[in-house]
Structure 1
Amino acid sequence: MLKNYALGRVWKTFRFLLTVFVIVRRKEHFLHIRPLGPTAFKQTILDLGVSFIKLAQVLATRADFFTEEYLSELKTIHDEVEPMDRADFEIMYNRAFGSVRPFRHFDRSPIASASIGQVHKAVLDDGTEVAVKIRRLDIEKAVLDDIRIIGIFLKIFQPFFSRLTKNSLEAVLNEFADMIVKEVDLSIELDNLRKFGDTYQLSGIRYPKVFPSYCSCDALVMSFETGMRIDDKEGLARSNIPFARLMDRMISFYMEQMLVCGFFHADPHPGNFLVREDGTLIVLDFGMVKRLPNSTRVAMIEMIKAANEQDFELFIVSCKRLGVIAATAREDQMQELAERMFDIFGNENLSATTMQNLAFDVLDSMRELPFKIPQELVYVMRASSLVEGLGTSFIENFNGIKDILPVLIKNINRALGAEARFLPTLKSELMSLPLTIRRLKIIITHLSEDNLHIKLSGETLEILGECIRGYLKSISVGIVLITAAFFMQHLSFSHHQEVAAILFILGVLRVFIALK
Structure 2
Amino acid sequence: MKGIRHLHRYREIVTCLVRNGFGFVVEELGLFGMLSLPKKLFTRPRPEEERAIGVRVRRVLEELGPTFIKLGQMLSTRPDLLPDSIIKELNQLQDQVPPFPWDEVREIIGVELGGQVEELFASFSREPLAAASIGQVHRARLKTGEEVVVKVQRPRIGTVIETDLEIMADLAALAEARLEIARYYRVRDIVEEFSRSLKGELNYLLEARNGERFAVHYARKGKVAAPRVFWDFTTKRVITLEYLDGVKINDTAAMRQAGFKPEKLVSRLLEVYLQQVLVVGFFHGDPHPGNILVLPDGALAFTDFGLMGRLSRRLRRELISLLTAIIGRNTRGIVSSIVRIGRVGEDLDREALQRDVEELQEKYFDLPLEQISLGEALYDFFRLGYRHRIQLPADLAILGKAFLTLEGVAGELAPRLSATRMLLPFRAKLLRARFEPRELAGSLWRQLGEYGELFLDFPREFRDLLVALKRGRLRFELDDADIKLLIRHLDRIGNRLSFSIVLLSFSIIMTGLIIGSSLVGQPVLFGVPAIGAGFAIAALMFFWLLFSIIRSGRF
Query: The TM-score by the shorter chain falls in which range?
Result: 0.7 to 0.9
Percent identity reads 24
| 1:355-504 alignment runs, 5 A limit | 363-396=382-415, 400=419, 402-413=420-431, 418=433, 420-425=434-439
Aligned equivalent of 2:272? 253
Are 2:311 and 1:298 equivalent residues in the alignment? no
Code of the aligned partner of 1:83: P
Aligned equivalent of 1:119? 137
Deviation at 1:215, TM superposition (A): 1.0
Aligned equivalent of 2:327? 308
Tell me, in whole angstroms, the C-alpha distance in 1 between the residues paired with 2:50 and 2:476: 33
What is the TM-score normalised by the length of structure 2? 0.68
Greater relative contact order structure (CA < 8 Å, 6+ sep): 1
Match of 2:253 among 215, 234, 248: 234
Deviation at 1:276, TM superposition (A): 2.2
Tell me, in whole angstroms, the C-alpha distance in 1 between the residues paired with 2:248 and 2:284: 17
Contact 1:16 1:45 in 2 (8 A): no
| 1:151-190 alignment runs, 5 A limit | 151-158=169-176, 159-162=178-181, 166-167=185-186, 172-190=190-208
Match of 1:132 among 130, 145, 150: 150
Which segment drifts farther, 259-268 or 309-318?
309-318
| Number of corresponding residues | 447
Tell me, in whole angstroms, the C-alpha distance in 1 between the residues paired with 2:11 and 2:382: 36
Deviation at 1:209, TM superposition (A): 0.7
Code of the aligned partner of 1:274: L
Contact 2:205 2:234 in 1 (8 A): yes
Q: 1:206 to 1:358 in 2, by over 3 A?
A: closer
Deviation at 1:153, TM superposition (A): 3.4
Match of 1:192 among 210, 217, 226: 210
Q: 1:354 to 1:255 in 2, by over 3 A?
A: closer
Deviation at 1:432, TM superposition (A): 8.6
Report the secondary structure of 1:122's partner residue.
strand
Tell me, in whole angstroms, the C-alpha distance in 2 between the residues paired with 1:81 and 1:377: 29
Q: 1:347 to 1:35 in 2, by over 3 A?
A: farther
Tell me, in whole angstroms, the C-alpha distance in 2 between the residues paired with 1:231 and 1:35: 40
Contact 2:343 2:390 in 1 (8 A): yes
Q: 1:468 to 1:79 in 2, by over 3 A?
A: farther
Name structure 2 gaps, 5 residues minimum: 27-41, 467-474, 483-555
| 1:242-281 alignment runs, 5 A limit | 242-281=261-300
Tell me, in whole angstroms, the C-alpha distance in 2 between the residues paired with 1:397 and 1:108: 44
Match of 1:11 among 15, 29, 35: 15
Are 2:155 and 1:141 equivalent residues in the alignment? no
Report the secondary structure of 1:411's partner residue.
helix
Code of the aligned partner of 1:200: Y
Which segment drifts farther, 91-100 or 37-46?
37-46
Aligned equivalent of 1:286? 305
Tell me, in whole angstroms, the C-alpha distance in 1 between the residues paired with 2:109 and 2:447: 59
Deviation at 1:308, TM superposition (A): 2.6
Aligned equivalent of 2:220? 202
Tell me, in whole angstroms, the C-alpha distance in 2 between the residues paired with 1:62 and 1:198: 31
Tell me, in whole angstroms, the C-alpha distance in 1 between the residues paired with 2:408 and 2:122: 41
Contact 1:134 1:218 in 2 (8 A): yes
Are 2:107 and 1:88 equivalent residues in the alignment? no
Tell me, in whole angstroms, the C-alpha distance in 1 between the residues paired with 2:325 and 2:278: 15
Contact 1:107 1:120 in 2 (8 A): yes
Q: 1:422 to 1:166 in 2, by over 3 A?
A: closer
Report the secondary structure of 1:373's partner residue.
coil
Contact 2:134 2:202 in 1 (8 A): yes
Code of the aligned partner of 2:438: P
Tell me, in whole angstroms, the C-alpha distance in 1 between the residues paired with 2:156 and 2:115: 21
Code of the aligned partner of 1:46: E
Contact 1:91 1:137 in 2 (8 A): no
Deviation at 1:214, TM superposition (A): 1.6
Are 2:243 and 1:224 equivalent residues in the alignment? yes
Tell me, in whole angstroms, the C-alpha distance in 2 between the residues paired with 1:90 and 1:442: 58
Q: 1:325 to 1:253 in 2, by over 3 A?
A: farther
Are 2:70 and 1:58 equivalent residues in the alignment? no
Contact 2:172 2:191 in 1 (8 A): no
What is the TM-score normalised by the length of structure 1? 0.72
Contact 1:252 1:407 in 2 (8 A): no
Deviation at 1:146, TM superposition (A): 1.7
Deviation at 1:61, TM superposition (A): 2.9
Report the secondary structure of 1:217's partner residue.
coil
Aligned equivalent of 1:499? none
Match of 1:108 among 126, 149, 155: 126
Tell me, in whole angstroms, the C-alpha distance in 2 between the residues paired with 1:13 and 1:465: 42
Q: 1:105 to 1:163 in 2, by over 3 A?
A: closer
Which segment drifts farther, 258-267 or 363-372?
363-372
Code of the aligned partner of 1:192: N
Contact 1:272 1:284 in 2 (8 A): yes
Q: 1:361 to 1:322 in 2, by over 3 A?
A: closer
Deviation at 1:286, TM superposition (A): 0.9
Q: Which of these two proteins has the greater Rg computed from alpha carbons?
A: 2
Are 2:95 and 1:76 equivalent residues in the alignment? no
Tell me, in whole angstroms, the C-alpha distance in 2 between the residues paired with 1:5 and 1:205: 45
